[in-house]
Structure 1
């Protein structure tokens, strides 16, 4: 896997990232790869925020994975800074190759570098394979999450 490069995403990577976001039953319902305008606007907001890290995994000039890492300063836990990992995606051709582990390890390492005391993530309740994956990497299912669509 030495030919893999995890680096900041560029606007040119957006079509590949959005395609991966849409490449599963949940993503197919909520993503629109045919209309990149809202993703381009979101990309600009992320790029302007130093606490947002959208990265891609590139192999042989091809985007094969992506995730977003958000750094959140806080007051709880004695003023701890935490990070949130979101939007973890691995291209279908690369699943079970160890790429997901490398992406998560990058996020954990970057969280440490940023002074975080806690790394957290959420995963849809139906993604049981993902839950096993995160548990193998040392994450624990410690909370119940809630969402309110606006």
Structure 2
């Protein structure tokens, strides 16, 4: 089937994919988060189906910019099942999201990718991303 918009019913498989990214507790709230994202016009939650099974997930956020003409698109979670890697699925979803961002008049696509995800960094560099070295956060909990 390929790329499609996620459905709430996909939450169990999405949970398994997030566990591969070291997010083991997401199952406690994931169904609610998916419902919220699916109802937000600035969010895209996509999955990739291979032989009727979800094997990848990507969440994409569109962020309007006040001082810049183009908006931003941000990938926040992207996982391809370890058994489905090296089949071009990641590249296909990333390119699809690039086109979605262009269609929404975004002038950049960004991703925060933890320093420990070295394989993911190689993927993003192959896709044309460049490093932007400063990323600051303030924990609120």
Matched, 1:70 2:61: yes
Matched, 1:118 2:108: yes
Q: CA deviation at 1:143?
A: 3.0
Q: Write out aligned runs for 1:87-106 (5 A).
A: 87-106=77-96
- In the aligned structure 2, how far is the partner of 1:110 from the partner of 1:21? 23
Contact 2:64 2:71 in 1 (8 A): yes
Count of equivalent residues: 140
Deviations 1:26-58 (A, max 9, x none): x1xx4226xx34111111211121110000000
- In the aligned structure 2, how far is the partner of 1:109 from the partner of 1:49? 19
- In the aligned structure 2, how far is the partner of 1:147 from the partner of 1:102? 30
Q: Secondary structure at the match of 1:54?
A: strand
Q: Secondary structure at the match of 1:117?
A: strand
Match of 2:19 in 1: 22
- In the aligned structure 2, how far is the partner of 1:126 from the partner of 1:145? 15
Contact 2:4 2:46 in 1 (8 A): yes
- In the aligned structure 2, how far is the partner of 1:132 from the partner of 1:37? 31
Across the aligned residues of Structure 1 and Structure 2, the Cα RMSD in angstroms comes to: 1.4
Q: CA deviation at 1:149?
A: 2.3
- In the aligned structure 2, how far is the partner of 1:103 from the partner of 1:39? 21
Runs (4+) of structure 1 exceeding 3 A deviation are none
Matched, 1:31 2:24: yes
Contact 2:8 2:31 in 1 (8 A): yes
Matched, 1:42 2:62: no
Q: What's the TM-score, normalizing by structure 2?
A: 0.92
Contact 2:20 2:79 in 1 (8 A): no
Q: What's the TM-score, normalizing by structure 1?
A: 0.87
Q: CA deviation at 1:90?
A: 0.2
